[in-house]
Structure 1
Amino acid sequence: MGKLAIDGGEPTVRLNNTKRWPFYSSNVEEPILSRIREGSLDAAAIDIAIQAFENDFSNTYCQGLYSIFHCSGTAALLTAYFALGLPRGAEVLVPTNTFRATVTPLLTLNLFPVFCDSDPITRCIDLDDAESRITPNTKALVVTHIWGHPADMERAVAICKKNNLFLVEDCSHAHGATWNGKRVGTFGDIAVFSLGTKKMISGGKAGILVTKHRTFYDRALLFSQPKHRANSDMSSSYLKEYLGTGLGVNFRGSPISAILANEHLVRLPRTIESKNNNLTKLEKAIVSEFSELTPPIRDSRFNEGTWYMYYCTWDVEELSRDFLYKAMKAEGMAVIKPETFLHNQKVFKDPSIFTTLDFPSFSDRLGEYPVSDWLLKVLIGFETREMYDLSDEVIDMYAEALQKISKNYDRLVDLSRKVGEI
C-alpha cells in the first residue's frame, strides 16, 4: 500500500483525466451555435427553447404542473416565496441543514425564518421539531430534500393540513426522486429545482419553479418574468393591470441554459442509474475496506432517484473527522465536509442588514439543534462529480485509497496526535 499521502507518500486517486460533470453531448452543439448565429431575435423566438424545457420538465417529472424557467434556483426560490403572498413578519419553518438560498430570500421579503433541527437518518428537516415550533404566526413549512434524499412527505403534508400551512419543496438536490412512488416537487403548494453547476440537470446556471396553483403561478409570472411572457400566460385580470411594469426583476433564464438543461433532462434516467451503480460499488468498498466509515441510510420509501452528494459519518473518538478528511483529501479523493449549518450564520443571528422588520429577539429564537450540531462534527462526504457516468476506474482508486488508510490507521492516529487533531 505504501505510505499515506498525508505522511509523505504518493496520492492514490488521480482524477485529472476523468470526465467530471457537467458534460454535454454533441447533440447540443448545433442548437446552441444556431442560436448564436441567428443573432437578435424577437422575444417569441427566444422563448421557444425555454417553453420546450418548461413543458418537457413539467410533463416528465411534475405531472403537468405549471412551470417557470428562471436564471437560477435562488431566483426561483425568491419568486416562490413572493408567490405565496405571505404577510410581512410571518414565520416560516425551515431546515438549518440546507443551502443558504433556501432561507435568505425570506429576509428579502421581510419574512421570519424559524430554523428546525435535522433528522439523524435522512438529514432533512426534523418534522417533529418543526411541528413543535409552530405558533399562530407560522404560515409555511419548507422542506429541502437534502443531498438527494427526500423528506418524509406524507408527514410534511399532514402537518401542513392540520395547521393550515403552505408547503414549499426545495428539490435542488433531488431531480427525478420519488417518495412512496410520487415525484418530489408534486407534494407541496410550490416547488423549486436548481439547474446550476453540478446539479443532475444543469443548464450551467438556471432554475425552475413548479406549482399546482394558478394563483401562485400568476403571482410568480408578475414577479419574475418579462412583460410579454406574463401577458401571454396570466389569467388574473387584477394582476394584468400591473403588467406595464411588473416588479422589474426579470429572472427569466437564458435560452442557451434551457437547451443545455433539456439534454440533461433527457438523459436523467441514465444519470440516476449510473450514479446509483457507482455509489453501490463505493458503499461496498467502504464496508469491506474501511468499515468504521458509515455510509448513509436510504429509506425504503426513497424509491427512485439517487444521492446528489454521498455523506457518510465518522464518529470515532480516537481520530477526528477533520483529520480523516485531510488524509482522504491528500489521497486525492474528492471529499467534502459541511463547515456550518445556517443557524450558526451571522445573517440569521443579526438579520438587520437585510430586513426592515424589527427582530430584536431573533438570536434568542434560534433554540437548540443537537442533531445538527452532531452532524457537523461527523459528516464526511464524497462529492460524486466524477460519478455521473460509469466510473469503475474511479471507484477502484477510491477502494484502494480506503484500504491504504485502513492498513495505515494506527500511523494516522499517531500523526493526528502529533499535530493535536485527535
Structure 2
Amino acid sequence: MLSVNYNKLAIHGGKPILSKKDIVKWCPVLQKDREAIKRVLDQNEIAGSNATETVKLQQEWSQYIGVNNSILTNSGTAALHMAVASLGIKPGDEVIVPSYTFVASATSVLHHNAIPVFADIEKDSLFISIKSMEKRINSKTKAIIVVHLNGMPAPIDKIISIAKKYNLKVIEDACQAHGAEYNGKKVGSFGDVAAFSLNKSKNLPAGEGGIFVTNSNDYFEIAKRLCKFGEIYNERGERDYNAYGLGWMYRSTEFVASFARSRLKYLNEWNQKRRENVSYLNQLIDDIPGIKTILPIKNSLPAYWRYMFKIEPEELNLNIKPKNLRYLIQNALIHEGLLISQWQKMIVPKQTLFINRNGYGNGCPWSCDKSSKNIRYDKYDYPNGDNIVNQSLWLKEGIQPFNSIETIEKIGLAIRKVFENIELLIDSAKNDYNSF
C-alpha cells in the first residue's frame, strides 16, 4: 500500500498525489463497441421504432430488469416524462418528489402540467423521508417519484406500502441505478413505471438516451404514443398520421441502441468492479475523523454511479460553516488531482424555476385553475437535503471500472493528506474568507 507524502498540500505548492494519467475516465470505447456501431452501418438502418437494434435492446433490457415492456428514448428525462404521462397524471395533480435529486425528476412532472411537491430526504441518507412524504399527501396527490440516487436502492418496499395506503402510483427514477438490486430484484421492476438514462456518465453509457419500463401493457401503449407524436404505429411500423393525443418525438437511433447492447453485456461485471472499488476506498478513509460515508440499506446491492462522502465539521471540533469547510476541502482535493465536486449546488426546490413558480409563463402550471393555489416551496422545509448539499462531495471519476487498485489507493491518500492538514488549510484561508 502506498504511504502518504507529508510534503506541502498541492494547493500550497506541494506535489499532487495524482496526475492526469492516473485516472481512466469513464467510459473507454472498446473494440466490441466499435463493432456494434459498424454493424449499424452495415445494416443500412440507422433509426426507426421497429429497427433491429432498437427492438433487440428493448427485449434484452426488459429481460435484464425483469419487466414486460421497455421503450428506448432519446434521454432519461424523456423516459421520466413518459413515466409521469403514462399514468394518466392530469393538470393540477400533484406528484411527490425528493428535495435532493436532479431537476429532471421534478420537471418531468411540470412537463405534463402537474405540480411537483417536494419531500425532504432522510437524515444521513440519500432517500426520500417516509415521514416527510406522508405529511405532503392530500386529495390531489397521484404519485410518488422514488429516486435511487447514486446507484443506491431506496427502501422501495416501504414507499410502495405508503402508496398502496393512499392509492398512489409509484414512479422509479433509476437513471443512476442500472443493475442495482433490492431484495434480489432489479430496481425499476418494483414501481408502476420506471426510467433509466443512457447518458455518457451513467453505468450503461451510450452517449445519450433513456429507457422507459413497465409491467403494465396499458401504460406501455400510452407511452408508445407519447414517444411518437401521439400516433399509433402498427406492428410493421406503419402510421396513419393521426394524433390521438399529445405526443413528443422521444425516439432514439440505432447507434444508441447498438452501443447500449454492446455495453449491457458487461454491466454486471462493471457494477461488481464499482462495488469492489468503493468498498476498498471506504476501508482506506473510514478511520479519518470528519468523514462519513453513506452506506447502502440492508438487503440492497448498489451499483454506485459515483463515490460520495459527507463532511462532519463537528467531529473535527472546528468552528467553521459546513459549506465553507466543504469548499476548502473540495478545492484542496482538486489540487491533489481528484476530479471531485458537489453533485448539486442547491436542492431542487431552491432553484429559480420553483422559487418563482413560473414554468410556462403567467405562473403556469401553478396558477392554472386546476392547481392548488397554496403551493409554496419554503427553503426551510428541507433541512436534510440542504445538509447533504452543503456537506457532501462526489468523486466524478476514479471508482469506475478500468481504474487500478493503485489509483484507488492514491485517491484515499489524497483525501487523508487533506484531512490531516485541515487546520493548516483553514488557517491559510482566513485572510481570504472573513466568514471563516
Instruction: Give the TM-score normalised by structure 2.
Output: 0.88
Partner of 2:306: 309
Q: Matches of 1:308 and 1:41 in 2, distance apart? A: 30
Q: Matches of 1:165 and 1:210 in 2, distance apart? A: 18
Q: Matches of 1:20 and 1:82 in 2, distance apart? A: 36
Residue among 179, 184, 191 paired with 2:182: 179
Instruction: Give the TM-score normalised by structure 1.
Output: 0.91
Q: Using the TM superposition, give the Cα deviation of residue 310 of structure 1 relative to its aligned residue in structure 2, in angstroms.
A: 1.9
Q: How many residues align?
A: 413
Query: Structure 1 counterpart of 2:289, which letter?
Result: S
Partner of 1:84: 87
Partner of 1:116: 119
SS in structure 1 of the partner of residue 286 of structure 2: helix
Q: Matches of 2:190 and 2:365 in 1, distance apart? A: 33
Asked if 1 retains the 8 angstrom alpha-carbon contact of 2:163 and 2:169, the reply is: yes
Residue among 158, 164, 169 paired with 2:161: 158
Partner of 2:294: 296
5+ long unaligned stretches in structure 2: 1-5
Residue among 43, 57, 64 paired with 2:61: 57
Partner of 2:385: 372
Query: Once the two structures are superposed, what CA deviation does each residue of 1:257-297 show, in whole Å capped at 9, x if it has no partner?
Result: 11111122110111111111111121112125x33212112
Residue among 404, 419, 428 paired with 1:391: 404
Q: Using the TM superposition, give the Cα deviation of residue 387 of structure 1 relative to its aligned residue in structure 2, in angstroms.
A: 2.1
Asked if 1 retains the 8 angstrom alpha-carbon contact of 2:96 and 2:116, the reply is: yes
Q: Does 1:413 align with 2:411?
A: no
Q: Using the TM superposition, give the Cα deviation of residue 248 of structure 1 relative to its aligned residue in structure 2, in angstroms.
A: 4.8
Query: Once the two structures are superposed, what CA deviation does each residue of 1:292-315 show, in whole Å capped at 9, x if it has no partner?
Result: 21211222221x232212221112
Distance 1:386 1:312, change over 3 A: closer
SS in structure 2 of the partner of residue 352 of structure 1: coil
Partner of 1:12: 17
1:18-417 to 2 correspondences below 5 Å:
18-36=23-41, 39=44, 43=48, 47-61=51-65, 63-225=66-228, 230-232=233-235, 244-245=242-243, 247-288=246-287, 290-302=288-300, 304-316=301-313, 317-318=318-319, 320-337=325-342, 338-354=344-360, 355-358=364-367, 360-363=373-376, 368-384=381-397, 387-417=400-430
Query: Structure 1 counterpart of 2:409, which letter?
Result: D
Asked if 2 retains the 8 angstrom alpha-carbon contact of 1:92 and 1:139, the reply is: yes
Asked if 2 retains the 8 angstrom alpha-carbon contact of 1:15 and 1:394, the reply is: no
Q: Matches of 1:154 and 1:110 in 2, distance apart? A: 28
Distance 1:7 1:365, change over 3 A: closer
Q: Matches of 1:118 and 1:42 in 2, distance apart? A: 40
Q: Matches of 1:300 and 1:167 in 2, distance apart? A: 21
Query: Structure 2 counterpart of 1:16, which letter?
Result: K
Query: Structure 2 counterpart of 1:58, which letter?
Result: S
Query: Once the two structures are superposed, what CA deviation does each residue of 1:334-366 show, in whole Å capped at 9, x if it has no partner?
Result: 112131110101111223232345165433567
Query: Structure 1 counterpart of 2:58, which letter?
Result: E
Query: Structure 2 counterpart of 1:292, which letter?
Result: G
Asked if 2 retains the 8 angstrom alpha-carbon contact of 1:275 and 1:390, the reply is: no
Q: Matches of 1:364 and 1:311 in 2, distance apart? A: 27
Q: Matches of 1:198 and 1:411 in 2, distance apart? A: 35
| Percent identity (aligned) | 26
Query: Once the two structures are superposed, what CA deviation does each residue of 1:132-157 show, in whole Å capped at 9, x if it has no partner?
Result: 11111111111101111111111111
Q: Matches of 1:386 and 1:229 in 2, distance apart? A: 44
Greater helix fraction, Structure 1 or Structure 2: 1
Asked if 1 retains the 8 angstrom alpha-carbon contact of 2:291 and 2:310, the reply is: yes
Query: Structure 2 counterpart of 1:196, which letter?
Result: N
5+ long unaligned stretches in structure 1: 235-239
Query: Once the two structures are superposed, what CA deviation does each residue of 1:113-168 show, in whole Å capped at 9, x if it has no partner?
Result: 10000112431111211011111111111110111111111111111111000100
Distance 1:79 1:92, change over 3 A: same
SS in structure 2 of the partner of residue 294 of structure 1: strand
Distance 1:258 1:286, change over 3 A: same
Q: Using the TM superposition, give the Cα deviation of residue 378 of structure 1 relative to its aligned residue in structure 2, in angstroms.
A: 1.1
Asked if 2 retains the 8 angstrom alpha-carbon contact of 1:275 and 1:389, the reply is: no
Q: Matches of 1:368 and 1:227 in 2, distance apart? A: 38
SS in structure 1 of the partner of residue 145 of structure 2: strand
Asked if 1 retains the 8 angstrom alpha-carbon contact of 2:357 and 2:366, the reply is: no
SS in structure 2 of the partner of residue 232 of structure 1: coil
Asked if 2 retains the 8 angstrom alpha-carbon contact of 1:201 and 1:265, the reply is: yes
Partner of 1:237: none
Query: Once the two structures are superposed, what CA deviation does each residue of 1:40-88 show, in whole Å capped at 9, x if it has no partner?
Result: 67847x7110111111111012x13211000100111111111111221
SS in structure 1 of the partner of residue 161 of structure 2: helix
Q: Matches of 2:286 and 2:251 in 1, distance apart? A: 46
Q: Matches of 1:122 and 1:410 in 2, distance apart? A: 28
Distance 1:404 1:86, change over 3 A: closer
**More displaced, 394-403 or 359-368?**
359-368
